[in-house]
Amino acid sequence: MVIVYESKTGFTKKYAEMLAEKTGLKTLPTSEISKVNQDAEIIFLGWLKAGKIQGLNKVRKYNLIAVCGSGTARRAEPSTEAVIARNKLEGIPFFYLRGGCLPLKEIKGMDKVLLSMFLWILKSRRDKDEETEEAIEIIENGFDGVKEENLEPVLQWLKTR
Ligand SMILES: Cc1cc2nc3c(=O)[nH]c(=O)nc-3n(C[C@H](O)[C@H](O)[C@H](O)COP(=O)(O)O)c2cc1C
């Protein structure tokens, strides 16, 4: 069994390394997927972009046994069910991990454009609830939600196998 991850700004990588430390499994980025044996079981961790788990397509043809998606929201956005459907994960255990993000001014390219649009949508909401206010703050100032305890459901699931 091996842990494979796709991470752009490092938060998902931190989870992959934490999980490797806790389980003794090897971890490697999707860029090195060719080193993985086709039969080897893979736990995949990828970051969420507009509900799509980045890098997932690179590991699809491998022996994928579980998928973790990291995002900045408290819960999977737009919802766990939507993420499972949008990423065609029916039948594969899915775990949401709260990751983090850099302050908007440190994000570059198309990601910055997309996130700026999202920020504008959030700010245009008339009745902003607590989660909306939090999302605005996180995008503008950055946030690190990576915690060992968030991996607990993954570790519990691994124990049952
Ligand atoms: C363009 C863009 C779109 C994003 N879309 C989502 C999303 O749909 N859901 C979510 O929870 N997080 C979303 N995020 C937040 C990232 O998934 C989150 O910051 C993740 O932990 C980053 O992981 P990384 O540091 O490994 O790249 C988005 C971030 C960017 C830059």
State the pLDDT at residue 78: 86
Closest ligand 1 atom to residue 14 Cα is: 26
**130 plus 92 within the same structural domain:** no
Neighbour-count burial for 122-150, b at 16+ CB within 10 Å, e otherwise: beeeeeeeeeeebbbebbeebbebbeeeb
Task: Check pocket membership of 93 for ligand 1, CB cut-off 6 A.
Answer: no
Residue 125 CA to residue 89 CA, distance in Å, equals 31
Task: Check pocket membership of 12 for ligand 1, CB cut-off 6 A.
Answer: yes
Residue 72 CA to residue 100 CA, distance in Å, equals 5
The pLDDT tens digits for 53-67 are: 999 999 999 999 999
Mutate which of 53, 56, 70 for ligand 1 pocket (most atoms within 8 A of beta carbon): 70
**13 plus 25 within the same structural domain:** yes
Q: 61 CA to middle of ligand 1, Å?
A: 24
The residue range of the domain holding 123 is 103-141
- Give the chain's mean pLDDT: 97
The pLDDT tens digits for 34-90 are: 999 999 999 999 999 999 999 999 999 999 999 999 999 999 988 999 999 999 999
pLDDT at residue 11 greater than cutoff 90:
yes
DSSP letters, the chain, are -EEEEE-SSSHHHHHHHHHHHHH--EEEEGGGGGGS-TTSEEEEEEEEETTEETTHHHHTTSEEEEEEEEESSSS-SS-HHHHHHHTT-TTS-EEEEE-EE--GGG--HHHHHHHHHHHHHHHH-SS--HHHHHHHHHHHH-EE---GGGGHHHHHHHHT-
**52 plus 121 within the same structural domain:** no
State the pLDDT at residue 7: 98
Give the domain CATH number at 87.
3.40.50.360
**108 plus 50 within the same structural domain:** no
**7 plus 76 within the same structural domain:** yes
**97 plus 123 within the same structural domain:** no
Residue 89 CA to residue 67 CA, distance in Å, equals 8
**64 plus 83 within the same structural domain:** yes
**41 plus 114 within the same structural domain:** no
Number of domains in the chain: 2
**97 plus 108 within the same structural domain:** no
Residue 85 CA to residue 120 CA, distance in Å, equals 27
Q: 152 CA to middle of ligand 1, Å?
A: 21
Band of pLDDT at residue 18, cut at 50, 70 and 90: very high
State the pLDDT at residue 136: 97
